[in-house]
């Protein structure tokens, strides 16, 4: 048994599982009022009536179409208002499209595992891109060939790309490869792309295997390596990009892939950030048997089974760590690029032990663990990540 740093919190019941009322009142209401994760760019006035309706109707299962449907009228109304504002008030239209996208995000939360959630996600992408084309520096979708695809992989990789307006073949820019997570996908990262632009960096955003639009075969532990080989090959061929100045930043479940690519493609990256990352323990039986009563908003059982391709949670607990652990498959023994590990010490989704164990293997690592904070180490985390990124990129911005 692992002597978990969480201590008593490892067995603590947070109490919101299975209850939308408790989730809203105890966990999400204040973040919504402050427009922070997962409500960034949203408004409290958009969400309070939705959650009131869910509570009144005792709708508690996020995979129930009734839950997903509750958000759609608000998102559609915001989208309509945004379209009407385009001709006369571009700033207002941009704001409304962002708000609609956030409402659609909560509708398809936590995993795109039903036909309705898939339709909602497709609509979210459409709405988000309609707004993004209005930005002073637009974000666009770029579908590239999956050059190194194998049997079971799809043949194209959809990416979101945002490039500084002054980037050119004569003046190429550094690139942030943003690797998304289990419930946060390509349309959910506006704030980060803004921060990258301020520093003169392009952003390339991709989804992770088993999630959203990723073409990698989710049951194959080697498919991520082919995925990133194709993405990095494409980046290397783009004249506006500095191929020797690429940093991979993986968020939450995406942190696993940032750490993996830091080792498998060390010679093609200037650095990588494993932010809120799992590596080994997070898919072990001991952790999985307790994770569903920690701070994550919903039960992870169904999402994890669908993400990794297992028929049931018992099968996942038996097999997943042996197949996907970076320790079990030997990835951690490889030389890595410069690698920053950052998380909250009290993370109940991805144990801090998963970051700490990397110091026992391979190349030296860097880290910043934030006391008293849960998954991702917010709100302090980004204030530590960006100076590190600036140092690696060789550009410094003090805002």
Q: Are strands 156-162 and 140-145 parallel, antiparallel or unpaired?
A: antiparallel
Q: In the annotation, is 347 catalytic?
A: yes
Q: In the annotation, is 281 catalytic?
A: no
Residue 319 Cα distances to 190, 215, 257, 348, angstroms: 36, 22, 19, 21
From the candidates 16, 146, 263, 375, which is the catalytic residue?
375
Alpha-carbon gap, residue 146 to 157, rounded angstroms: 6
Q: In the annotation, is 375 catalytic?
A: yes
Contact 356, 6 (CB under 8 A): no
**Four-CA torsion 396, 208, 369, 317, nearest 10 degrees:** -170
From the candidates 101, 347, 354, 355, which is the catalytic residue?
347
How far is the first Cα of the chain from the last one, in angstroms, to the nearest whole number? Answer: 46
From the candidates 252, 325, 336, 355, which is the catalytic residue?
252
Alpha-carbon gap, residue 276 to 278, rounded angstroms: 7
| Close Cβ partners of 312 (under 8 Å, ≥ 6 residues apart) | 305
Residue 295 exposed, middle or buried by CB count within 10 Å (0-12, 13-18, 19+)? middle
Alpha-carbon gap, residue 74 to 127, rounded angstroms: 13
Which residues are designated catalytic? 252, 347, 375
């Amino acid at each position: 048994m692992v002597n978990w740093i969480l201590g008593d919190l490892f067995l603590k019941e947070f109490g919101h599982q299975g209850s939308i009322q408790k989730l809203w009142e105890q966990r999400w209401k204040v973040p919504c009022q402050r427009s922070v994760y997962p409500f960034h760019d949203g408004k409290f006035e958009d969400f309070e009536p939705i959650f009131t309706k869910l509570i009144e109707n005792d709708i508690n299962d996020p995979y129930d179409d009734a839950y997903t449907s509750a958000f759609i009228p608000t998102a559609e109304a915001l989208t309509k208002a945004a379209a009407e504002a385009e001709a006369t008030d571009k700033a207002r239209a941009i704001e409304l499209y962002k708000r609609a996208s956030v409402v659609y995000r909560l509708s398809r939360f936590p995993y795109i595992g039903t036909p309705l959630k898939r339709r909602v996600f497709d609509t979210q992408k459409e709405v988000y891109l309609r707004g993004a084309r209005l930005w002073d520096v637009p974000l666009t979708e770029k579908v590239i060939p999956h050059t190194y695809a194998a049997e079971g992989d799809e043949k194209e990789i959809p990416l979101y790309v945002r490039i500084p307006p002054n980037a050119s073949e004569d003046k190429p820019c550094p690139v942030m490869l943003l690797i998304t997570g289990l419930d946060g996908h390509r349309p959910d990262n506006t704030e980060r792309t803004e921060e990258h632009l301020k520093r003169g960096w392009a952003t390339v955003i991709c989804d992770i295997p088993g999630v959203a639009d990723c073409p990698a075969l989710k049951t194959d532990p080697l498919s991520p390596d082919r995925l990133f080989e194709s993405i990095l090959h494409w980046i290397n061929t783009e004249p506006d990009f500095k191929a020797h100045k690429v940093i991979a930043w993986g968020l939450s479940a995406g942190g696993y892939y940032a750490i993996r690519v830091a080792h498998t493609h060390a010679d093609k990256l200037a650095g990588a950030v494993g932010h809120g990352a799992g590596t080994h323990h997070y898919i072990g039986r001991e952790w999985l048997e307790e994770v569903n009563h920690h701070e994550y908003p919903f039960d992870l059982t169904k999402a994890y089974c669908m993400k990794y391709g297992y028929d049931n949670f018992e099968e996942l607990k038996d097999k997943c760590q042996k197949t996907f652990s970076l320790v079990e498959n030997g990835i951690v023994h490889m030389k890595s690029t410069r690698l920053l590990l950052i998380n909250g010490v009290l993370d109940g989704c991805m144990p801090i032990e998963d970051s700490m164990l990397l110091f026992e293997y391979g190349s030296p690592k860097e880290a910043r663990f934030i006391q008293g904070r849960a998954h991702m180490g917010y709100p302090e985390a980004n204030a530590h990540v960006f100076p590190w990124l600036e140092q690696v990129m060789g550009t410094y911005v003090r805002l």
